[in-house]
Each structure stands twice: as structure tokens, then as C-alpha cells.
Amino acid sequence: MKNSNNVLFFMAALLNSACTQNDNCGITEGMLRYVLDMAKHASEEPRDEINTLLEYDFIIVGAGSAGCVVANRLTEVSKWDVLLLEAGGEENYIMDIPILAPMIQFTGANWNYKSMPSDKFCLGLTNRQCMFPRGKVMGGSSVLNFMVHTRGNRRDYDLWESMGNTGWGYESVLPYFLRSEDIAIPELAMNTKYHSTGGYLTISYPRFRTPLAEAFLEAGKETDQRIVDYNAETQTGFSFLQTTTKNGTRCSTSTAFLHPVRKRKNLHVKKRSQVTKILVDPSTKRTFGIEFVRNKKKYTVRARREIILSAGVFNSPHLLMLSGIGPKKHLTDMNIPVIQDLKVGYNLMDHPGVIGITFIVNQSVSLMPEYFLETGKNLRDYFVNRTGPFTIPGAAEAIAFFDFKNPTYIDGYPDVELLFIGSSLSNSRLARETFGISDSVYDILYKPVEKIHSWMIIPIILRPKSKGRVKLRDNNPFHKPLIFPNYFDYTYDMEILLKGVKKAVELSETNAFKKFGSKLHDTPVPGCQSFEFRSDDYWRCVIRHLTYSIYHVSGTCKMGPVSDQEAVVDPRLRVHGIKGLRVIDASVFPTIPSAHLNAPTIMIAEKGADLIKEDWGHKT
Ligand SMILES: Cc1cc2nc3c(=O)[nH]c(=O)nc-3n(C[C@H](O)[C@H](O)[C@H](O)COP(=O)(O)OP(=O)(O)OC[C@H]3O[C@@H](n4cnc5c(N)ncnc54)[C@H](O)[C@@H]3O)c2cc1C
Ligand SMILES: *[C@@H]1O[C@H](CO)[C@@H](O)[C@H](O)[C@H]1NC(C)=O
Ligand SMILES: *[C@@H]1O[C@H](CO)[C@@H](O)[C@H](O)[C@H]1NC(C)=O
Ligand SMILES: *[C@@H]1O[C@H](CO)[C@@H](O)[C@H](O)[C@H]1NC(C)=O
């Protein structure tokens, strides 16, 4: 599917088949209202500016999780003109139906990055390449993500501070998490030290739960774990997912932070415009503008004060290197004149996990598409009232955090996450494509159980030691950079993930899941048949075959003080050695937080915008 309209057609076909197969569909009125809501949503996105100025105070590159927040906060200062450039086009309301989250990757709203083929991980995926979808649309990856809202652990940020990043300790960043938050979960909202209401970003529980998700929390209790609000005092324990959704609909950063301020005269948004170079005067090392390409035509815009790179973990380092800011030898090899020698593209971090851990049940309780579309009810619930299973982000329902070093400590520092999915890869060919599983693996592993209800747990390493790198392929801005994730370079990463896998299987064997006749799917993963099923070596093999990037790539423009040889930006997010240039997005993380990265990225953007205001003498 090439563009977002195709998703629309796909949805229409789904609806159509659901309605023709069943007698009383009766969703016509709901659909009509939905179409009106769609038009309203479209009309609330800032328009694509035709008459851009020749010069702005600030130019922001990329309208993703971070860029939309920075654009909102900088244009609070009415005397500052801001240009926000985005390579992608409009967000579409269909993209905001939570259950469809995995499908957005099949549209033109995805940059479609893949890792270099490897012989150590992602072996069961097509071409032995890991998939790295990234948003190319207003809202960036916050339009593709699974809406899981987690902040991470207090110690993650205290670690940043201890690395010389003054002002980034937990006590300093908590107010920024709270600033954007609008919690719509009353029982959590009462805890005002950790939650707030009235911010731009709404956090809710999905409006439907499978009995399996309830069982997952029960399994936690049975195994002596606590039920927690992982965004409050202690993170370790079990919980239903807090999600960035509002009234059953995705809350992307474009919808949340740009729609409400679309009438600000000092905000210009230019869509379908790809920035190809940051212009830096080599003698003064000061930026003065950018070049961008729209409809195959090149344009230049000047910046009076600053340029802010919010192009994401692959594109921010890509643009820096294309502009002469990066590792000297690598740039020279690519025929790019070096302006500043910095370790751009190093420190690539992620939260690798494994997707093969599937459990079969004997009742109709999972989110199998054929099943939940069987009657018109679920469609009606969503299109009329925004309730029902469609409000669950891509079937992700619950989460558990474990500290395997201190398993009995209630305020542990989690090293593994288990993400509960009320469905599995065998339930849909589309899901298979989302994860990039090769046909040969799919046909053996999942095809025989396609029509059987099943669920899965995705175990994820929270603080891996292995680091990867992003490099230029060449000096053409339209050629994708090369991505080397280097998963499992350290034995620690493999062994801690193995603990997660075994914990997942243990949970599936609790009474809570036995009620559903839950049973580990016992077809050995192709490529691992030679190992004894369920032995440690078998699981290690599965981890290397069905490796899964949980999409938390980050760190390629590391934040750190001058003394940090690897640092690309300083603790005020200014590129070392260059004037008038900051990076504000998920690439500045010095170490990866124990969180899904949307909330931490939004926090960085909130704080980054404040730093800019301070540096230009504007009181915050
Ligand atoms: C499929 C998927 C699922 C995820 N699930 C979750 C989840 O459930 N919970 C969670 O917390 N996190 C999740 N994440 C991660 C999270 O969404 C990202 O870490 C976060 O969005 C990164 O924000 P960013 O601002 O760094 O980059 P992005 O949001 O990717 O924004 C970068 C923007 O810059 C634009 N851009 C890039 N280059 C240029 C250029 N040269 N010129 C103009 N524009 C440019 C891009 O098109 C994009 O809009 C997920 C990510 C993906 C992809
Ligand atoms: C929508 O909600 C209203 C009010 O709660 C209810 O009366 C109605 O039956 C619901 N419609 C559907 C299709 O669930
Ligand atoms: C949620 O969406 C439904 C369907 O559009 C609408 O009827 C309802 O008023 C909305 N609720 C809120 C709180 O916005
Ligand atoms: C499912 O399996 C459980 C455990 O074996 C059993 O108690 C239950 O009756 C089974 N249910 C169905 C519908 O087969």
C-alpha cells in the first residue's frame, strides 16, 4: 500500500465485508459522523504555507514527536517567526484509529529504514534485515507508534546528570513531563506529584480489555509482583498500558501540540519539503540557513537566530554529516568538506526484543481480526462512540517491568520489559509483514495456526550494552544512510533477554492463563530445530532469529559536556563547536531510558524549548 488513501480504501473494504457478511450492520450513521470528524480533523492541521518568508528567527527541521512541541513552545513568543519544515504530508484521521497502528507502516508516511543484513540477529526476517519504520508525516513517528506512554525510571535521568548533563536529573525533568500531560485516568490523576491535567497531551486507558489482558495482571499477582502506576513512584510491576489517546483516538504530537495553535501568525509550516543541507559559514562556524527540496525544486531559507534539528534518530545525524558536521575521516571518505569533527552517528541504541513467544488458547478471547470484525458491534462501537477493541493500539494492552538483579526489591531498576499483546503474528498476515518475518519462516511457524486464537509477550531489553552506528552511504541527501544496530555484541544483552523469555513462559503457565487452556505454541522456530525445544540454547537461537526492534532507536547525536569525547550536543542541546544549531529529538539521549521513547522525547522538546527561550533572554 503506497499511500494513506490506500489505508482508507482498505478500511472501507473491511467495513464493507463486515457489513455485507452480517445482517444488521447499522453503522451508516456512525460512519457519516466519522467522515465529518475526519474532515474536521483535517481542517485543524496547520495549513501548508505557500508564501514562506526569506528569513525566520527559528527554523525547525522535522514535525515529529519533538519538532511539533518545539514549534508550539517557540511560537508562544509572538515576536519570533518560526518555520517548521516537514518532509511528509498531512496526518489522516484514519491513522489515528488505535487498532490500525501497525498498518500505517505500509503507507507513504513511513521512511522505511532497514538495518544492514546481519548474521547475528534478525535472521528470520526478510533478507536478514531488521525493520526500522520512522514517521514521514505531520507528527512524525508519533503517528506510527503504538501509543504506549512510559516515562522511564528516575535513575535513567539521574544517570544523565551524573554524566555531566547539568539540569537533566529526574527532579529537573519531572516538571517537563508534567507540563505536557493531560491525564484522563481519574484514579491516577489524584497523584498530583506525578500526574497533571490540562496539558496538550492526553493520556488514557484504551476503552476495551481482552480477558487475556486481565489474566496478564492476575499472573503478575500470582507470581508475587505488584500492580503499579509505572509513571509514578515505582516502575517495577504490572500495569495496563497508559496510552497517548484521547476519546479513543491517537493523540499524535501534531494533533496535540499543533492543531490548537494553528492560527498563530508567527508559525509557518511547510510540508512535503525535505531539508537537504544546513548552511554553515566555515570561517565563523555559524549557521545561516537551510536548503530544502520540494517537488524536485531546491529552495534556500535563512535563519536569524537558530536552526533546530528535530529530524529524528536517522535523519538528524544524516543531515549533520551531509552538512560537514561529523566524523572527519568518514566525511572525507564521502567527499564532504569537514566543518566540525564530531562523533555523529555513533551511540545508536535501541531496545531489542524477540517476537516468537506465542501462546495458543482454547477460547475466542484474543484480538484476531476475523473474530473482532465478525459482528458489526465492534465497528459500531468505534465509529459511533469511539469505544471497543478498535481503541487498543495495535493489540498492545499491558506491560510489566522486571529488575532481574534485585527481583524482590519493590523499587527495582527494571532491566527487562514484557509487553503483553492480546493477539499474535499468526492472527494476521499484515502483522507478519509489519515485523518483516520472511515467508519461509511464517509458513512453517504461523500458517498452521492462523485460525486459532493466540496471544504473545514481547520481552524487551531495557538497558542493553551493545551500541550501533549510522553512516552515510554517500553524499546524496536522498540516499538512505546505512544502519548497523550491532545487537547482542555484549553477552549481557542476550542473557538478560533470555531471562525475560523464560519469565514470559512462566507467566503463561499461571492459573490465570490456564483458564484459557493457554499453551506455548510448540512448533520450533525454523533455523532452531536442532536445539532442544525450550532449552536456553533454543531460546538464544530464537532471539537471534526473531529479533525485534521495538522502535526505540536513539542516541546518534549524544548529549554530553565538552569533556565527553563522544558528545555531539552540549547539555543545552547546542551542537559542539557550531553556533546557532541545536538538535532536539530522540538522537540526543546519552543513554537509553527504561521507557518507550515518545514521552521522553516530548520531555526533551519541552525542556529544549525552555533552554532556547532562556538563551535568548526570554523569561520562562
Ligand atoms: C512503529 C513505531 C512504534 C513505536 N511505538 C512507540 C510506543 O508505543 N510508545 C513510545 O513511547 N514510543 C514508540 N515509538 C518510538 C517513538 O515514537 C519515537 O522514539 C519518537 O517518535 C521519536 O521522535 P523524534 O522527534 O526523535 O523523531 P520523529 O517523530 O521520527 O520525527 C522526525 C520528523 O522529521 C521529519 N524529517 C526527517 N528528515 C527530514 C528532512 N530532511 N527534512 C524535513 N523533515 C524531515 C520526519 O519526516 C519526521 O516527521 C515507536 C516508533 C515507531 C516507528
Ligand atoms: C453509544 O453510547 C450511547 C450512550 O452511552 C448508547 O446509548 C449507545 O447504545 C451506544 N452505541 C453503540 C453503537 O454502542
Ligand atoms: C468522543 O467521540 C464521540 C464520537 O465522535 C463523540 O460523540 C463524543 O462526544 C466524544 N467525546 C468526547 C468527550 O469528546
Ligand atoms: C480450555 O482449557 C481449560 C484447561 O484445560 C479447560 O478447563 C476449559 O474447559 C477449556 N475450555 C474450552 C472451551 O475448551
Nearest to 350 by CA among 484, 514, 211, 248: 484
**Rounded CA separation 578/587 (Å):** 17
d(CA 7, CA 490): 40
Measured CA angle at 176 (ends 60, 406), to 5 deg:
120
With a 6 Å cutoff on the Cβ, whether 475 touches ligand 4 is: no
Which amino acid residue places its CA nearest to atom 5 of ligand 1?
145
Ligand with the closest atom to the CA of 361:
4
Decide: helix, strand or coil at residue 522.
coil
The answer, yes or no, to whether residue 52 has pLDDT greater than 50, is yes
For range 36-61, the mean pLDDT: 96
Average pLDDT over residues 504-528: 97
Residue 248 CB–ligand 2 contact under 6 Å? no
* Percentage of residues in the chain having pLDDT higher than 90: 87
Residues with CB under 6 A from ligand 1: 61-67, 85-88, 133-136, 140-142, 144-148, 274-275, 310-313, 315, 319, 551-552, 585-586, 596-599, 601
Ligand nearest to the CA of 386: 3
pTM: 0.96
Q: Give residue 26's pLDDT.
A: 55
What secondary structure letter does DSSP report for 587? G
Cell 521495538 sits at which residue?
Answer: 550
Q: How far is CA 195 from CA 65, 68, 177, 181, 240, in A?
A: 20, 22, 9, 7, 17
Q: What share of the chain is helix, strand, coil (3-state, %, to 5)?
A: 35, 20, 45
- Residues 369-420 have pLDDT tens digits of 877 777 778 888 898 899 999 999 999 999 999 999 999 899 999 999 999 9
How many other CB atoms are found less than 10 A from the CB of residue 199?
18
Which grid cell is 300?
534556500
Give the amino acid at 189: A
Name residue 575's beta-bridge partners.
569
Check if 386 has its Cβ closer than 6 Å to any atom of ligand 3.
yes
pLDDT band at 7; cut points 50, 70, 90: low
Percent of the chain whose pLDDT exceeds 70: 95
Catalytic (active-site) positions? 552, 596
Distances (CA, A) of 50 to 47, 53, 183, 269, 270: 9, 10, 36, 9, 8
pLDDT for the residue 397: 98
Could you give the C-alpha distances from 315 to 290, 394, 451, in angstroms and in order? 15, 26, 40
User: What pLDDT does residue 12 have?
Assistant: 56
**CA dihedral over 108, 93, 142, 308, signed as positive or negative:** positive
Q: How far is the CA of 553 from the centre of ligand 1 (A)?
A: 10
CA distance 169 to 163: 10
Residue 403, judged by CB atoms within 10 A of its CB (0-12, 13-18, 19+), counts as buried
Helix, strand or coil, per DSSP, at residue 357: coil
Over the stretch 422-476, which tens digit does the pLDDT of each residue have?
A: 999 887 677 778 888 988 899 999 999 988 999 999 999 999 999 999 999 999 9
The gap between the terminal CA atoms of the chain, to the nearest Å, is: 45
| From 29, 97, 386, mutation site for ligand 3 pocket: most ligand atoms within 8 A of C-beta | 386
Q: Is 486 helix (H, G, I), strand (E, B) or coil?
A: coil
